[in-house]
């Protein structure tokens, strides 16, 4: 038990936003200790007292200045980051959202964390994908309504 206790890392919850506009989804290339220079959906740590929807709207606004309209829960995945300096585990809550105003364009509000945002078709996603996203894509996940 002591061994497990010594190696146990933190478990956090991240909310991940599949922001859909027509046939496109918003992705940005991360600048971060986790997944540096890989393409990811807007995402962020769930903060104490927040609902998943509130976190999605807050993180999207913080990172892109975009205002979310309708939003719903899609799926949840469990991601172990064991080969990092500090092991961690993220439960990723994937939400689907649309813009309140579809004419709004994303701004790169946190250039220290993101190279910039772009719209991509699901079957034409940029590479390399941030591995938690790549995992769900490989498993056939598709955020677009069928
Ligand atoms: C695993 C990953 C989704 C971790 C949390 O996402 P993030 O690094 O974008 O977090 P913040 O936007 O809250 O800084
Ligand atoms: Mg953030
Ligand atoms: Mg955050
Ligand atoms: Mg983020």
Do residues 40 and 134 make contact, with C-beta atoms less than 8 angstroms apart? no
Residue 46 per-residue DSSP state: P
Which ligand 1 atom is the nearest neighbour of the CA of 40?
3
Provide ipTM, 2 decimals: 0.96
Distance CA 90, CA 7 (A): 16
Do residues 94 and 18 make contact, with C-beta atoms less than 8 angstroms apart? yes
According to the model, what pLDDT value does residue 4 have?
A: 53
Distance CA 14, CA 39 (A): 16
The tens digit of pLDDT for each residue in 86-140 reads 889 999 999 999 999 999 999 999 999 999 999 999 999 999 999 999 999 999 9
Closest to 37 in 3D by CA, of 28, 49, 26: 28
Which ligand 1 atom is the nearest neighbour of the CA of 132?
1
Distance CA 7, CA 10 (A): 10
What residues does ligand 1 touch, defined as CB less than 6 Å away?
14, 32, 34, 43-45, 59, 90, 92, 132
| Cα 59 to ligand 4 centre (Å) | 7
Which ligand 1 atom is the nearest neighbour of the CA of 42?
9
Residue 41 per-residue DSSP state: -
Q: Is pLDDT above 80 for 6? A: no
Instruction: Enter the pTM of the model.
Output: 0.93
């Amino acid at each position: 038990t002591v061994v497990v206790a010594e190696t146990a890392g933190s478990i956090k919850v991240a909310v991940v936003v599949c922001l859909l506009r027509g046939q496109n989804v918003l992705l940005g290339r991360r600048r971060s200790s986790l997944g540096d220079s890989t393409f990811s959906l807007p995402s962020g740590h769930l903060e104490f007292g927040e609902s998943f929807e509130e976190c999605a709207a807050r993180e999207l606004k913080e990172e892109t200045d975009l205002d979310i309209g309708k939003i719903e829960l899609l799926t949840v995945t469990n991601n172990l980051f064991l080969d990092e300096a500090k092991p961690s585990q993220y439960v990723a809550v994937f939400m689907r959202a649309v813009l309140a105003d579809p004419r709004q364009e994303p701004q790169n509000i946190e250039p220290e964390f993101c190279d910039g945002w772009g719209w991509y078709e699901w079957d034409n996603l940029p590479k390399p994908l941030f591995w938690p996203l790549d995992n769900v894509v490989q498993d056939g996940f598709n955020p677009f309504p069928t």
